[in-house]
Structure 1
Amino acid sequence: MLLELMLPQTCGGCGRLGPGWCRRCAESLAGPPVRARPRADPGVPCWALGRYRGPVRRAVVAAKEQGRRDLAVPLGRALARGLTGLRAAERTLVLVPAPTRRAAARRRGGDPVARVVRVAGSLLPDCRVAPILRMRRGVRDSVGLGADDRARNLRGRVAVARRRLPDVLFDPNAEVVLVDDVLTTGTTACESVRALAFAGIAVRAVLVTSVV
């Protein structure tokens, strides 16, 4: 209680004093996922929980750049709800977090996308989380880059980690879903799906928290 008085909690979506994710902001991610059609088509259906604006945008930024680890829980719950509506109940679900630069992960105290995916995976039955994608050296921060520059920045620089991969990734009855926080041009999704396909892993869909 004393700590809350010294460091009052604010909502990650609207900034008001109170819960870390208020009921009103939660409504912005309460609807069913919508189809997203990025400029760079990864070749599989893309879905988004919401638009990258308002409380959703502020929550994503807070989770990534302001150390708001507490937002992984409400964002993970929203992701789990969206996946429940999209998945085939009789199939095993495998969630693959989109890759992030190592420097960015160190600066943020971990990978916020992977953190949200782990929460979602823990809430879903018959679900596995496979953090197997990595970015090779030479990838720059994509903030401020246009579509063509983003494509050049990532081309050939997303890879599957060199280790024994879970057998479920190659199960034809499993649903492998690539998960990210923001879908901008679709470049990260394209390179990730390509890297997974090269490793023999078929991605069924891409699901993001928000789409620009």
Structure 2
Amino acid sequence: MAQTRRSPVVRMLRGRGTPGWDRAAARCTAWWARALELILPVSCAACGVPGATLCSACRRLLRRSTARPAAVVPPGPLEDAGVRVLVAGDYEHELAAALLAYKNGGRTDLVPVLAAALSGALAATARGTASSGPLHWVPVPTSARARRRRWFDPVAVLLDAAALPSGSAVRHALRHRPPVRRTGHPGSQKSRRRADRVRAIRGTMRARDVSGLTCVVVDDVLTTGATAAEAVRCLRGAGAVVPAVVTLAGVRARRSPPENAQMSDPVVREFPHSFL
């Protein structure tokens, strides 16, 4: 019996959520960004100076701020999980502006810059992680809602573009799934208390094909640690050893927050290429 051939559109839609889809979507986004430069010339993602993805001054400052990835005190949920936490830099100034432009403004021209910063954090994590086998870098998956808005997974794209330590590999072992029931107070993730975030995120991921592997969770920004802790829980539940979490940026306030502290976004300008 002849196999029915699906149209290219059907095959494309069935591929949404896969690493190949993310790479293709990111390339399409970059193509549209280059096309828009004919109308709206590219500007520095941090200071707005026209003519470059990042101006020379902001690029230098971003490199300096991520030159020495550091181990930080794990936020509550990650402290409970007993994992080591490393960040490439603090979530402020040029790094915060570049991340926001990339994630919320569709500035995929920033991928090489951000991937280079992430590469340093991966190398530092690998040096400090004892493992009897190869390390597997597992990106925290984006939600279905965020994927529909951006058309790609920001963390997965950055990780795929990063320079990996020798002998290690990327493993897309986590998938996002909507929770059965939302709990806690309404509002953005940043404005929720830690316990509310842990409850809200519980059950939003599933892991597969990691039994016996040593996995390191990779995310873009570390705030309360609830998302990364859920990723650790899922991977361990599927049989993986998870010794560490690494992120591109970490909110500085996480180190010694007051009892009723709330996280807030850094102040950044609007971006002319915010078309997603």
TM-score (norm 2): 0.66
CA shift, 1:123, in A, is: 4.7
Judge conservation of contact 1:28–1:50 (CA < 8 Å) in 2: yes
- Provide the C-alpha distance between the structure 2 equivalents of 1:2 and 1:95, rounded to a whole number of angstroms: 33
Matched ranges for 1:24-39 at <5 A: 24-39=61-76
Judge conservation of contact 1:10–1:16 (CA < 8 Å) in 2: yes
Q: Deviations over 1:19-45 (max 9, x none)?
A: 313233332212232324212223210
CA shift, 1:126, in A, is: 2.3
Judge conservation of contact 2:121–2:247 (CA < 8 Å) in 1: no
Corresponding residue to 1:150 among 197, 202, 224: 197
Judge conservation of contact 1:177–1:206 (CA < 8 Å) in 2: yes
Judge conservation of contact 1:13–1:25 (CA < 8 Å) in 2: no
Whether 1:82 aligns to 2:121 is: yes
Judge conservation of contact 1:93–1:126 (CA < 8 Å) in 2: yes
- Provide the C-alpha distance between the structure 2 equivalents of 1:2 and 1:61, rounded to a whole number of angstroms: 21
1:87 aligns to what SS in structure 2? helix
Whether 1:73 aligns to 2:112 is: yes
- Provide the C-alpha distance between the structure 2 equivalents of 1:159 and 1:211, rounded to a whole number of angstroms: 24
Paired AA for residue 72 in structure 2: R
- The aligned counterpart of 1:8 is 41
- Provide the C-alpha distance between the structure 1 equivalents of 2:110 and 2:193, rounded to a whole number of angstroms: 29
Judge conservation of contact 1:96–1:177 (CA < 8 Å) in 2: yes
Judge conservation of contact 1:13–1:59 (CA < 8 Å) in 2: yes
Whether 1:43 aligns to 2:82 is: yes
Corresponding residue to 1:125 among 166, 170, 176: 166
Q: Deviations over 1:32-67 (max 9, x none)?
A: 323242122232101111111111111121111111
Which stretches in structure 2 are left out of the alignment for 5+ residues? 1-33, 252-276
- The aligned counterpart of 2:246 is 207
- Provide the C-alpha distance between the structure 2 equivalents of 1:86 and 1:12, rounded to a whole number of angstroms: 28
Change beyond 3 A, Cα 1:88–1:49: closer
Judge conservation of contact 1:36–1:211 (CA < 8 Å) in 2: no
- The aligned counterpart of 2:136 is 94
Judge conservation of contact 2:74–2:85 (CA < 8 Å) in 1: yes
Matched ranges for 1:53-72 at <5 A: 53-72=92-111
CA shift, 1:3, in A, is: 6.8
Which stretches in structure 1 are left out of the alignment for 5+ residues? none
Which range moved further: 194-203 or 82-91? Answer: 82-91
Computed over aligned residues only, the root mean square deviation of the Cα atoms, in angstroms, reads 2.6
- The aligned counterpart of 2:232 is 193
Judge conservation of contact 2:175–2:207 (CA < 8 Å) in 1: yes
- The aligned counterpart of 2:10 is none
- Provide the C-alpha distance between the structure 2 equivalents of 1:152 and 1:206, rounded to a whole number of angstroms: 20
- Provide the C-alpha distance between the structure 2 equivalents of 1:12 and 1:36, rounded to a whole number of angstroms: 30
Q: Deviations over 1:140-179 (max 9, x none)?
A: 9624322122111011222115xxx26xx624xxx42111
Change beyond 3 A, Cα 1:55–1:204: same
TM-score (norm 1): 0.84
Paired AA for residue 27 in structure 1: R
CA shift, 1:137, in A, is: 1.3
- Provide the C-alpha distance between the structure 2 equivalents of 1:45 and 1:34, rounded to a whole number of angstroms: 7
CA shift, 1:6, in A, is: 3.4
